[in-house]
Amino acid sequence: MNIRSKQYIPERMKHYALIIILLTLIVGALQAQNDNKAQLVVSSHQACIGDAIRFDDATSNDKITSRYWIFEDTTIIGSYAGDQITVIRSFAKEYNPVELRLICTTYDTTTAISNDTVYGTHNDTITSSTGEDSVIVVPDTTITLAGATIISITNDTLSAFDTVHMFVHPKMQATGDTIICEGNETNIKMDPVMNAVTYNWFETPFDDGSPIAYGSRLQVEPYSANATYYLKILNNMGCVSWDSIKVYVMQPSLTVQPADGNICAGDPAYLIAGKADHYLWESIPQDTTLAGQESNSRIEVSPKSTTVYALTPYGNNGCSSEKIYVTITVHQLPSLAVKIMPAVIDPTNPTITLTDESANSVSSFWSFGLNNFAEGTSVTHTFTDLNKDSASVILQSSNDLGCSADTSFRIAIQSFALWVPNIFCPNRADNSKFHIYTVNKLEYFSIQIFNRRGLMVFESEDPQFVWDGSYNEQYCPQGAYVYVCNYRLAGTDHVDQTTGTVTLIR
């Protein structure tokens, strides 16, 4: 027994030693293999767009000189020197999956003697320490160096590959009663979101505390102040999105232009509603210019008479608040009427009194021609240009709001009244003299009387002349006589002429 045991033990030890040697060789081989590979560590292989991802170079090789990080979008993040290099990056687009590659460049150093031969196994760059030779060794070829001493060979690149799956954040849209009436409940809901796992509502953004509600619908008790609610959605890939919706308590407003609500007939007024979701307008009495604008937030009206407008504001959940009333006061334009005394301009006394009797008029402005104006309800004016058959007058009559109506009219100038008789009898007492009749003042006058042969038997420049039917103190015979009369009215520069015949009877 003892002898066998002593012989058996050395045999067992040999087996153990062999196993240890084999394990050592395997570990060394693995270590050597790892030295020829880059090691890449990724913080997360599943991430959401915009999240930061960490990439670490964990290659255990002390001969690395530089690194390149290459991602699926072909963007080279950078070239870095040193060990344990870290890159942090986020993606703005969805790449599924995102492929990345780490390339590490290494070097080796060997000693070569003059005229030594080097066998190329890579696209290696060989440079002598003195810089005398710099050549590229093509794979599977040999090259003899003419230089001496030490050369360095940059002879390899190590690569590592990995993938990261990127996921989009939930796409969300909150809808609901964003404009409500005071005291109404608020109902907000979230449109269905694909792959959503949880819906959490908060009163403050990015709140990690306890939500005020869960699920895709939020109902808030009545309140009287504006508020904002925030919704956090988590999808099945762990991506998070936030959205917010503001709820306004309706506080309707109404603006009027002009601000005092006073307009002249025919002018527009503008009514502008705000701080509600939609509106309904009414008018008392009915205003035809409101037609087609009853649901507008801004209306333009031009009522014919003073009108009251009623506005009903609504929230988008159908609630309504109290009506708002506004009165548009219409000031009617003057209804033009003028009194003229006397009605016709007398050239001998061309003074006229004009009175503005227009309804709704509070001020009057008169124009009688170039640079000839007067103000007042009643004015007296003396006309100086009597060469025409009438004189022009313009009246601008204004109401209490300053709106005016205009009119123009003409006043007739009395024509010259000159009457010439056509017969007289010198031998009779009642019609024995020939003369003219006029009520106007003449600044120039002349008359000539001719017999049938053309002989002038009488002439005078006195409007008060009298012809007794004689010539050179002799009675003219009975018959027809022709007269020519020229005259100019006072205030004019035009000489008029009238002609005719007068019959002398004895």
Cβ distance 273 to 253 under 8 Å? yes
Q: Which residue has the tokens 């640079």?
A: 371
Whether residues 323 and 376 share a domain: the answer is no
Q: Could you tell me the end-to-end alpha-carbon distance of the chain, in angstroms, rounded to an integer?
A: 211
* H or E element in which residue 172 lies: none
∠ CA 304-305-309, nearest 5°, is: 100
**Residue 108's beta-bridge partner residues?**
153
Whole-number Å distance between alpha carbons of 105 and 242:
44
Domain with 346, as residue range(s), is 338-412
CATH for 382: 2.60.40.10
Whether residues 471 and 369 share a domain: the answer is no
Whole-number Å distance between alpha carbons of 108 and 313:
84
Tokens describing residue 367: 């124009």
Whether residues 44 and 130 share a domain: the answer is yes
Which tens digit of pLDDT belongs to each residue from 448-504?
999 999 999 999 999 999 999 999 999 999 999 999 999 987 777 778 889 999 999
Write phi, then psi, for 362 (nearest 5 degrees): -120, -15
Closest listed residue to residue 248, CA positions, set 194, 324, 148, 179: 179
Pick the last residue of a domain from 151, 166, 181: 166
In this prediction, residue 20 carries a pLDDT of: 66
**Residue 176's beta-bridge partner residues?**
188
Whether residues 137 and 44 share a domain: the answer is yes
Whole-number Å distance between alpha carbons of 501 and 482:
4
Cis peptide before 10 (omega within 30 of 0): no
Whether residues 74 and 137 share a domain: the answer is yes
DSSP at 155: E
Whether residues 52 and 133 share a domain: the answer is yes
Whether residues 326 and 354 share a domain: the answer is no
Closest listed residue to residue 130, CA positions, set 104, 110, 153, 148: 148
What amino acid occupies position 469? G
In this prediction, residue 313 carries a pLDDT of: 95
Whether residues 62 and 157 share a domain: the answer is yes
Which parts of the chain have pLDDT scores under 50? 1-9, 29-35, 76, 78-84, 109-155
CA distances from 22 to 11, 31, 32, 398 (A): 17, 14, 15, 121
CATH for 496: 2.60.40.1220
Whole-number Å distance between alpha carbons of 411 and 389:
9
* H or E element in which residue 2 lies: helix 2-35
Pick the last residue of a domain from 145, 166, 187: 166
Closest listed residue to residue 232, CA positions, set 175, 170, 283: 170
Whether residues 387 and 428 share a domain: the answer is no
Whole-number Å distance between alpha carbons of 465 and 364:
49
Number of domains composing the chain: 6
In this prediction, residue 339 carries a pLDDT of: 96
Whether residues 55 and 160 share a domain: the answer is yes
Which tens digit of pLDDT belongs to each residue from 290-302?
999 999 999 999 9
Whether residues 122 and 65 share a domain: the answer is yes
Tokens describing residue 21: 């040697």
In this prediction, residue 154 carries a pLDDT of: 42
* H or E element in which residue 384 lies: none
Q: Is 494 exposed, middle or buried (0-12, 13-18, 19+ CB in 10 A)?
A: exposed
Longest dimension (CA), the chain: 213
Cβ distance 166 to 96 under 8 Å? yes
**Residue 98's beta-bridge partner residues?**
164
Whether residues 442 and 475 share a domain: the answer is yes
Cβ distance 42 to 33 under 8 Å? no
**Paired sense of beta strands 269-274 and 253-257, if any:** antiparallel
User: pTM for this one?
Assistant: 0.53
- Contacts of residue 105, defined as CB under 8 A and 6 or more positions apart, other chains included, come to 64, 65, 66, 67, 154, 156, 157, 158
Tokens describing residue 483: 């007269």
Pick the last residue of a domain from 285, 313, 330: 330
